[in-house]
Amino acid sequence: MPPPELEHLDVVIVGAGLSGIGAAYYLQREHPRRSYAILEARAASGGTWDLFRYPGVRSDSDLHTFGYEFRPWRDERSIADGPAILTYLRETAAEHGIDRAVRYHHRVVAVHWSTPQARWRVEIERADTGERTALTCAWLFCAGGYYRYDEGYTPAFEGVEGFRGTVVHPQAWPEELDYAGKRVVIIGSGATAVTILPAMAGTAAHVTMLQRTPTYILPAPSRDALAARLRRLLGPERAHRAVRRFNIARQRAIWRFCQQHPHTARRLIRWVNAKQLPEGYPVDEHFNPPYHPWDQRLCLVPDGDLFRALRKGTASVVTGRIAGFTETGVRLESGEELPADVVVTATGLNVQAFGGVAISVDGTPVHLPGTLAYKGVMLSGVPNLAYAMGYTNSSWTLKIGLLCEYFCRVLAHMDAHGYDVCRPEPADPGMATRPLLDFGAGYIQRALDLLPRQGDRAPWLTSMSYHSDVKLLRHGRIADPELHFAARA
pLDDT tens string 223-259: 988 888 999 999 989 999 999 999 999 999 999 999 9
- The dihedrals phi and psi of 476, each to the nearest 5 degrees, come to -70, 160
d(CA 153, CA 159): 18
pLDDT for res 1: 44
* pLDDT single digits (tens) 29-83: 999 999 999 999 999 999 999 999 999 999 988 999 999 999 999 988 999 999 9
pTM: 0.94
H helices of 277-362, where?
Answer: 283-286, 305-312
Please, what is the average pLDDT of the chain? 93
d(CA 457, CA 373): 11
Say how many C-beta atoms besides its own lie within 10 A of residue 393's C-beta. Answer: 19
- The dihedrals phi and psi of 128, each to the nearest 5 degrees, come to -90, -30
DSSP letter string over 264-292?
A: HHHHHHHHHHHHHSPTT--HHHHS--SS-
d(CA 61, CA 81): 11
More confident residue, 434 or 406: 406
- Report CA Rg, the chain: 24
Checking if the pLDDT of 439 tops 70, the result is: no
Beta-ladder partners of 14:
39, 142
pLDDT for res 466: 92
pLDDT for res 394: 85
Omega within 30 of 0 (cis) for the link into 459: yes
Checking if the pLDDT of 369 tops 80, the result is: yes
DSSP letter string over 187-221?
A: E--SHHHHHHHHHHHTTSSEEEEEESS---EEEE-
Q: Are 273 and 286 in contact (CB under 8 A)?
A: no
Checking if the pLDDT of 182 tops 70, the result is: yes
pLDDT tier, 366 (very low <50, low <70, confident <90, very high otherwise)? very high
Closest CA to 66 of 19, 3, 34, 8: 19
